Amino acid sequence: MQLLTFAHRGEARAFLDQLDLTQVQGNTLYRFNRGLLLITGEGLFETMNAVSKVIATHPDINEIVNLGVAGSLDENLAKNEIIQIRTVYLELEEKAQFHSFSMQERITPFKKADCLTSTRRVLDKQTAEKLLPFASLVDRELWAICRAVKDEKIPVTSLKLISDIPSQEQNEICQVVKEQADLFSSHLFDAWNALHSSNDKSKLVLDELPHYEKFHFTSSMMMALEKKLSQVFIKFPGDSLESLIDFDSILSKETRPKEKAAELLNELNALLNPYRVTLEKRLSRLTPGLKAAGLNPTFDPNLEKVQLHIKGTFSSKNEMAKAIDQLQKFDFDQMSAILDGELDV
């Protein structure tokens, strides 16, 4: 069950108007078809207390989505832009704390940035400039939400609408936010719907994947998986993934779920681009000496140009001499032949 959290009723106004809600507790907690909606109030301790009470009385909550406005500390971010939070930090009594929380990884169409929860209002350019090294956004409650559900390990997603930029605002920020509450809430409602659509799409992808619970895909890996699966189903219509991929081989290895996911992506890539995989394998046979000498050899990303890119760091003349020796031994002619399509070399 999903728990939606808002600091103020103004932020939740579009949700209160458009969702079929029933009151659970006063005018702060509501139930709808997907879960609960909570108005936490503003501030670190008030938020933590409100969320903790709801979690304690509703143990079936398995996801939290925090939606609300936030100030931008970064002038490169635009007002009214929706930002998905990656990590939240805390500033307490004007001092940055070292305990941070990472948000749930998921595919969304939104730009990502970090957020700083502050116990003070950030209303001026000088304060914003001091906080910018820690995060791009500032709010008053996200860190408290994450802390309240830390022991239960409930994943948190946060979407913030940039309501103001303290370094640019000339008017009283609080008044500006209050006057535009309807517009802000409408944008947040649209963002939440987009978030849910993205989540449904990811679930559909995972439903097509055998043993998906044994893999762990980061947000970028999930996007790659969606793309590759779509291409595989087009290229091999009627074939099941289990007939195309040796899942038993991948799952039997003593590797972490994320490493299994990376190997699966490689296998899908091999299905889609067998010629490229053959080229990469042939080229990899030429590089052990370079790698042993501390060099990082790479080739043209498209495997079209006859190019060898080298990176390396040396701590002594001896290390440099070994690297030079391996470079002189490198079979450039064979690399050129492979890239020209002579696979029998």
**Per-residue pLDDT tens for 176-235?**
667 788 899 999 999 998 887 666 655 656 666 788 778 888 877 887 888 888 788 778
- What is the spatial distance between Cα 53 and Cα 60, in angstroms, rounded to a whole number? 13
Overall average pLDDT of the 290-317 stretch: 91
- What is the spatial distance between Cα 96 and Cα 257, in angstroms, rounded to a whole number? 34
Task: Assess whether pLDDT exceeds 80 at residue 105.
Answer: no
* Whether residue 212 sits in one domain with residue 147: no
* Whether residue 252 sits in one domain with residue 337: no
Of the ranges 37-41, 271-275, 301-305, 340-344, which one carries the lowest mean pLDDT score? Answer: 340-344
Asked if residue 277 belongs to a domain, the reply is: no
Question: What is the number of structural domains in the chain?
Answer: 3
Asked if residue 84 belongs to a domain, the reply is: yes
Q: Tell me which of 154, 174, 202 is where a domain ends.
A: 202
Reported as a pLDDT band with limits 50, 70 and 90, residue 126 is low
Percentage, residues of the chain above pLDDT 70: 87
Which segments within 224-305 are labelled E, that is strand?
295-299
Task: Assess whether pLDDT exceeds 70 at residue 249.
Answer: yes
Q: Tell me which of 254, 272, 290 is where a domain ends.
A: 272
Of the ranges 62-71, 104-113, 206-215, which one carries the lowest mean pLDDT score? Answer: 206-215
- What is the spatial distance between Cα 260 and Cα 253, in angstroms, rounded to a whole number? 8
More confident residue, 59 or 127: 59
More confident residue, 97 or 162: 162
Query: What domain range is 194 assigned to?
Result: 2-202
Task: Assess whether pLDDT exceeds 80 at residue 57.
Answer: yes
Instruction: Look at the pTM and tell me if it is higher than 0.85.
Output: no
* Whether residue 243 sits in one domain with residue 110: no
Angle between helices 274-284 and 257-272 (to 10 degrees): 110
- What is the spatial distance between Cα 216 and Cα 214, in angstroms, rounded to a whole number? 7
Which segments within the chain are labelled E, that is strand?
2-6, 22-25, 29-32, 35-39, 63-72, 82-92, 95-102, 111-118, 137-139, 156-164, 295-299, 308-312
What's the pLDDT score for residue 82? 94
* Whether residue 216 sits in one domain with residue 141: no
What's the pLDDT score for residue 225? 86
Task: Assess whether pLDDT exceeds 80 at residue 251.
Answer: yes
What's the pLDDT score for residue 203? 60
* Whether residue 9 sits in one domain with residue 140: yes
Angle formed at CA 197 by CA 196 and CA 198, multiple of 5 degrees: 90
Q: Give me the helices (H) in 132-218, please.
A: 142-148, 173-179, 181-207
Overall average pLDDT of the 137-146 stretch: 93
* Whether residue 266 sits in one domain with residue 287: no
Q: Give me the helices (H) in 104-167, please.
A: 125-131, 142-148
What does the DSSP 8-state code read for residue 212?
G
* Whether residue 212 sits in one domain with residue 194: no
Q: Tell me which of 140, 167, 202 is where a domain ends.
A: 202
Asked if residue 255 belongs to a domain, the reply is: yes
Reported as a pLDDT band with limits 50, 70 and 90, residue 124 is low
* Whether residue 178 sits in one domain with residue 320: no
* Whether residue 266 sits in one domain with residue 152: no
Task: Assess whether pLDDT exceeds 90 at residue 144.
Answer: yes
Q: Which of 339, 330, 337, 345 is nearest to 289 (CA)?
A: 330
* Whether residue 298 sits in one domain with residue 221: no
